[in-house]
Structure 1
Amino acid sequence: MTDHVSSSILKFTPEAKKSTFASGLAPERLAFDRSGNLFVTDTPSKVTRAEVKGSDSILKFTPDGKRSTLVSGLGHPGGLTFDDKGNLFVSIFVKEYSSYSILKFTPEGVKSSFATGLNGPVDMVFDRSGSLFMTDNRRDSILKFTPDGKKNTFATGISFYGLAFDAADNLFVSEYGGDLIFKFTPDGTQSTLVSDRVSPDKQWEYHLDADTPMIVKAGTRQSVLDVSEEMSGAGNAKIVWAPDSKRFAFNYSPIHAHHTTYEKVAFYQLRGDKWVALRSPANASERLQLAQLAKEGLPKSAYSPDADWSQDILKLRKWTDANTAILYAYAAWADGSRHRKETFLFTMKFDREGNWKIVKTHQMSDKQVEEKYNEP
């Protein structure tokens, strides 16, 4: 697996023992060929947020770890996949066309163009007949290329992301930035396989229609809570239901003026037949959200309105029961020339009316954060 934090590729044995396979990279996508060679997109341009300058490449690692470069000078390579003949297909941004294309590399390394004029390819996979399926994220569609290169639209209307086929040639697709997994049978019949949007009691559902988030009665479009004003410009919020379906939390990224990664959480509770907003754990002040919750353990600079922070994240990790929630908070800021970061877990208790209080505070060490991040 790729680890962006440590700029490395991690290897896990069947017994879940972890080791570092390669380091000093900006790895993004992985794919194995039939001989067990590992191919990796190395994308430093995405790390530095640079314009397309041809600084990215595709690396090859033999089973014994020997490294070589298959091709360099690329701009934002995306998906990697192999066909049954051992040809490697790579989706890539081509500056000359101002669009994405799919390149093809034979086992001997000969390069050719398979498709051009694409808009935002993310993932690619072949079915048993040799047709290539590709998620086009910017067009909210799945494209299908027949073995002779003919293109058509297989599905549309959803921001599709990852792709995988099972042994029966059913296609499974994840939603970009969401919590849905869709299933497509070989004849194209679509169904929703997994969704965290529906409440545990199956009575309520989080629905996003034309960027308008709302809570509806499950299986309908009957709105019972319109949160479009609160969530304006927040994109696809993540909903986390309480076990009894009487409360939920939204983890989302609101529009803000700060040059920082900013995420916050909002709580709602069912009162009678109406959903109402509860008091937020932190307000949109000029202070870090973490500084509003942590009573001790933070340096004075975290409480300063002049703190130059780069990350200010507050979100619900999980509900442990109907009245208890675990809140995650992370902040990174500059204290003069010194960069600081802190991670906390807060245990929240709710009463019948939805009032809450923090009953436990846990400051996580760097080791705990790393172990949690890298756990298989």
Structure 2
Amino acid sequence: MKRIISYAGLVLGVAGAAMPASAAQADAIPRTQVAERQQPILIHDGLSSPVGMAHDDGGNLYVANWSAGTVLRFAPDGRRSVFADGLSGPSGLAISRAGDIYVASYSEDLVWRFTPSGKRSVFVRGLATPAGLSFDAKGRLLIANRRTHQILAAHPNGKIDVAAEGLQTPVGAVELPNGDILVSNIAGGISLVSGRLQARTINADLASPGPGIVRSGADAAYVVDYGGTTISKVDRNGRRTVIADGLSSPVGLALAPDGSLVVATWGANSVFRIGRP
């Protein structure tokens, strides 16, 4: 029987879920490599199940605080404030080129849009447990729609395209420069969508890849392993390099303005910094 992975009411796994047939394509993947590992440094604590994170142009870090139903804002000097409250299961978070903040409500099946001043409106609704968010090169918001096993792409006007399907409980996605998409699936595995909607599994080594996935260069992404303790770099060929370890259930991940990574963990309810990989 498959385990159900949950924390503070957020159910990410699916009992009895089976890996898709494409998982067999991961059999020939090279072994995991280990780089010089970075030591995580605690920068913010006292959070409540932090998930999605992103920086604005001013260097402020926004964090979706799942259990508290809030979005917190951390200034570059570390000062914290509540940017938004009264949310239901805020999960993924992304910031557009215009500076608007988008927050997925995992519990309400919608995505909120906030102006930098905090004014909110519903961007899209009618989703199915939306998790991680990111933007593609066209300015579309990529939404990991976990329950339908799809990655959706929402245009600025709210029109929705299907960017990928046939996934296994996707919770995060990021576009590569050539238009391919790397996807993290909480039930296990990293998938690549290349030229077609249908995805294929390229790496099945991680226990439970979480919503935290950010691009690394032209052909790879950094990925958290919620079911483990690591941050890894996985390239489009499935090669995995561990860059940090010792984190307690890492879930969220964001690239800082200085090139370092910030990691949100559920085990410690904290945010850590990892030096430039």
Q: What residue is the counterpart of 2:118 in the other structure?
A: 109
Give the CA deviation at 1:140. 1.4
Whether 1:176 aligns to 2:186 is yes
Q: What residue is the counterpart of 1:211 in the other structure?
A: none
SS at match of 2:147: helix
Give the CA deviation at 1:70. 0.5
SS at match of 1:74: coil
Q: What residue is the counterpart of 1:57 in the other structure?
A: 70
Return structure 1 stretches of 4+ with deviation > 4 angstroms: 186-189
SS at match of 2:84: strand
Supply the distance in 2 between the matched residues of 1:186 and 1:130 (Cα, whole angstroms): 19
Whether 1:66 aligns to 2:79 is yes
Q: What residue is the counterpart of 1:36 in the other structure?
A: 59
Supply the distance in 1 between the matched residues of 2:129 and 2:106 (Cα, whole angstroms): 9
Supply the distance in 2 between the matched residues of 1:89 and 1:375 (Cα, whole angstroms): 23
1:19 partner letter: I
Q: What residue is the counterpart of 1:87 in the other structure?
A: 100
**Is this contact kept in 2: 1:89–1:105, CA < 8 A?**
yes
Supply the distance in 2 between the matched residues of 1:190 and 1:139 (Cα, whole angstroms): 14
SS at match of 1:79: strand
Moved more, 16-25 or 188-197: 188-197
State the identity %.
29
Stretches of structure 1 that go unaligned for 5 or more consecutive residues are 5-13, 45-54, 198-235, 237-369
Q: What residue is the counterpart of 2:162 in the other structure?
A: 153
SS at match of 2:38: coil
Stretches of structure 2 that go unaligned for 5 or more consecutive residues are 1-6, 8-35, 209-267
Give the CA deviation at 1:78. 0.9
Q: CA RMSD in A?
A: 2.9
Whether 1:135 aligns to 2:148 is no
- Post-superposition Cα deviations, 1:228-272, rounded to whole Å, max 9, x if no partner, equal xxxxxxxx9xxxxxxxxxxxxxxxxxxxxxxxxxxxxxxxxxxxx
- Post-superposition Cα deviations, 1:260-303, rounded to whole Å, max 9, x if no partner, equal xxxxxxxxxxxxxxxxxxxxxxxxxxxxxxxxxxxxxxxxxxxx
In the superposition, the TM-score normalised over structure 2's length comes to 0.56
- Post-superposition Cα deviations, 1:65-98, rounded to whole Å, max 9, x if no partner, equal 011110112111010011111111001156xxxx
Supply the distance in 2 between the matched residues of 1:136 and 1:181 (Cα, whole angstroms): 15
Matches within 5 A, 1:217-232: none
Supply the distance in 1 between the matched residues of 2:155 and 2:132 (Cα, whole angstroms): 16
In structure 2, the CA distance between the partners of 1:192 and 1:43, relative to structure 1 (3 Å rule), is closer
**Is this contact kept in 1: 2:173–2:182, CA < 8 A?**
yes
Supply the distance in 2 between the matched residues of 1:181 and 1:93 (Cα, whole angstroms): 21
Give the CA deviation at 1:194. 2.2
Give the CA deviation at 1:167. 2.5
Matches within 5 A, 1:333-348: none
The one of 16, 21, 41 equivalent to 1:19 is: 41
Give the CA deviation at 1:186. 5.5
Supply the distance in 2 between the matched residues of 1:189 and 1:155 (Cα, whole angstroms): 6
Give the CA deviation at 1:196. 4.2
Whether 1:165 aligns to 2:161 is no
In structure 2, the CA distance between the partners of 1:149 and 1:196, relative to structure 1 (3 Å rule), is same
**Is this contact kept in 2: 1:125–1:133, CA < 8 A?**
yes
Mark the structure with the bigger radius of gyration. 1
Q: What residue is the counterpart of 1:361 in the other structure?
A: none
In the superposition, the TM-score normalised over structure 1's length comes to 0.42
**Is this contact kept in 2: 1:171–1:186, CA < 8 A?**
no
